[in-house]
Chain A
Amino acid sequence: MIRKNVLSLLLLLLPGIGFLLLTFGLPLWWALTGSIGLGPGGVGFTFDHLAMIFERPAYWRGLQMSLYYAITPTVLTLFIAVPLALLLQQPMFGRKLLNGLYKIPLAVPGIIAAFMVLTMVEQGGFLDRILMHVGLRMPRIVRDEWGIAVVLTSIWKDTPFMALIITGAFGAIASDMVPAARSLGASRLRAFLAIELPMAMPGITAAALLCFVKSLGSFAAPSILGPTYPMPLPVLMYESYREGKWAEIYAMGTVLIIAAFLVLAAYYTLTALSLRPGRESRQ
């Protein structure tokens, strides 16, 4: 009886889960097995390819660069997107216009954004020529050691994306919350810190995570604007692809996936901890 139920349940779930397995699970499985030398065209079980990423400086620095390109813009964007989201809540002149304008970068593909930034901030570029009139020069921020133009591009692309999610998070807070806090003695700032920010936190962290994962895989900006050494893993993956080194591609892909999963796992652990009942109370 029970077995029959389980069977029919599995049959019912098959279309959904099957689709996921086929389109998502299978490639993932290939990447994972490929990275340890198994699967079609593999050389047999080995950790060599994975180990290579941590041994060879080009790859090891590449991994660090990937994390740098993912974390830096995400953190910096947070400092722009949260105030922007708050500003967009205020009744003010021109709010509707600002509300439409700030979303424009969302509609610009990453590669175009990269070229836009290039023509703007390059030495000899648009800003440089303007500055020349007042006897100044643009500092070198394209293909510089810190990948400043890459970070700038990510910020430019991610700000509206994050602000959109965070505006939603703040907007979902019931309208009586802040008045309630204020009438209980909280200043505008303390009401924000003690009530609004914690209530919007799930939205803010979700936005930050999405941006992190997006930037972790970014390809266009680092290859156009970034330094030639070290290159982040996605760019290195493309180079390996041109040389047909599939085992290395699998290995780098696997490492990137693991990095993203580690961050996600940390996120879920933290939220689960902070939502555990009783923790909030110091009774």
Chain B
Amino acid sequence: MGEGSGTSVAPALSLTAITKRYTEAPVLFPTSLEVQTGEFVTILGPSGCGKSTLLRIITGIIEPTGGTVRLDGTDVTHLPPERRDMAIVFQSYALFPHMSVGDNIRFGLKMKRIPRAEADRRFDHVVGICGLTPLLRRMPRHLSGGQQQRVALARALVMQPTLLLLDEPLSNLDAKLRDSLREDLLELHRETRSTSLYVTHDQTEAMSMSDRIILLNEGRVVETGTPRDLYLDPKMRFTAEFLGQTNIVPVTAEGRSAGTPWGQAIALRAPAHGPSQVSLRAEALRISPDTSGPATVTELQFLGADVLYSVDCGGHAFRVRRDSDAPLIDRGTRVDISAMGDATPLQDTPGEAA
């Protein structure tokens, strides 16, 4: 994908080798990513990995130390925020406390001098889909967290930006509300087809909402892919561990085959040689009682739909998930263990190898 590959196919957002250092240590190492028009992309990563910094660079609130930001193919790296066609929903919502809900939503329309008729049309539409009609005259301090979140979203959506940025917009809400607002957000995205870049540290949120996930750790992009690919076939150890629960299993690889600690040979999706690691999900492991088996059940947790077993196999601890309608296996029982399907040898990420 060259630079001059035609304007019509330029991604909505493209970052090239963005770096940032505030004082000494870099917060972002050269980071590149793209978001296609209409896509819902999530940047997922643990707290402090540089997600908000990246979003602030994209909006122009802070300048990158190096690299280029392109919006619809145009270099906007040095444009001030008000001249970039994007809107952001902040982690803190950042509603203007001295303005009513209606004035908050109209603020951007006024600043960008959208003609009256067009402004009214957009305003009514957004207020409608966000369900804010009864709240228009309220002041932000008289709103619940979920209502504030909807106002912040409406204030951004009404701009009809080329790119909508969302910085952990659900992280300040309780679990129930988070679930229902997550669905609302997705529905809104489907309705508006807005190109969205969503930031979160919550892997469930990322997996359930995104077309694509960009996994970030310590200022570096670790891996990029669809939620399904990243969950089922991670290439990086960090990915495997960050998304869901998994077992990092030490294996001895020989080409496309690898020997597990319990003596099973599993197929590898990519060739490897010598000691290596694969990720096997708790639900990809099977155990069955067997007095001559290589493993022992050390712990079990009843979780409702399934039971999570901890087993010990030659000094390695593994977690195994079994349907709860299968007979329970008691603590101390010796079991046979086997893995279903194949696996990809994992690589360490540059930052964490040290």
Which residues of A approach B to under 8 Å, CB–CB?
174, 176-177, 179-188, 190, 194-195, 198-199, 277-278, 280-283
Tell me whether B94 and A174 are in contact (CB under 8 A).
yes
Interface size on B, residues (CB 8 A): 31
Tell me whether B94 and A187 are in contact (CB under 8 A).
no
Q: Apart from A185-B111, A282-B102, what 18 extra A-B contacts exist at CB < 8 Å?
A: A179-B56, A179-B90, A179-B94, A180-B88, A180-B94, A181-B107, A183-B61, A184-B108, A184-B111, A184-B155, A186-B82, A195-B96, A277-B139, A278-B137, A280-B100, A280-B139, A281-B102, A283-B136
13 CB-based A-B contacts, threshold 8 Å:
A174-B92, A176-B90, A179-B59, A180-B96, A182-B82, A183-B59, A183-B81, A185-B111, A187-B82, A188-B80, A278-B137, A280-B99, A280-B103
Tell me whether B92 and A176 are in contact (CB under 8 A).
yes
Residue of B with least CB distance to A178: B61
List 6 tightest A-B contacts by C-beta distance, closest first.
Answer: A184-B108, A185-B111, A176-B94, A180-B94, A182-B81, A185-B112
Q: B282: CB under 8 A from chain A?
A: no
Residues of B near A177 (CB, < 8 A) are: 94, 96
CB distance from A58 to the nearest CB of B (A): 46
Residues of B near A283 (CB, < 8 A) are: 100, 102, 136-137
Q: B176: CB under 8 A from chain A?
A: no
Between B87, B88, B98, the greatest number of chain A beta carbons within 10 A of the residue's beta carbon is seen for B98
Using A176-B90, A181-B96, A182-B61 as known contacts, say yes or no to A281 and B108 having CB atoms under 8 A apart. Answer: no
The CA-CA distance from A283 to B99 in the complex, in Å, is 12
The CA-CA distance from A279 to B198 in the complex, in Å, is 35
Between B82, B88, B112, B138, the greatest number of chain A beta carbons within 10 A of the residue's beta carbon is seen for B82
Tell me whether A280 and B98 are in contact (CB under 8 A).
yes
B248-288: which residues lie under 8 A (CB-CB) from chain A? none
Residue of B with least CB distance to A198: B98
Residues of A near B111 (CB, < 8 A) are: 181, 184-186, 190
Q: B159: CB under 8 A from chain A?
A: yes
The CA-CA distance from A278 to B155 in the complex, in Å, is 19
The CA-CA distance from A283 to B56 in the complex, in Å, is 33
B66-88: which residues lie under 8 A (CB-CB) from chain A? 80-82, 84, 86-88
Q: B128: CB under 8 A from chain A?
A: no
Q: B97: CB under 8 A from chain A?
A: yes
From the candidates B61, B107, B139, name the one contacting A184 in the complex (CB within 8 A). B107
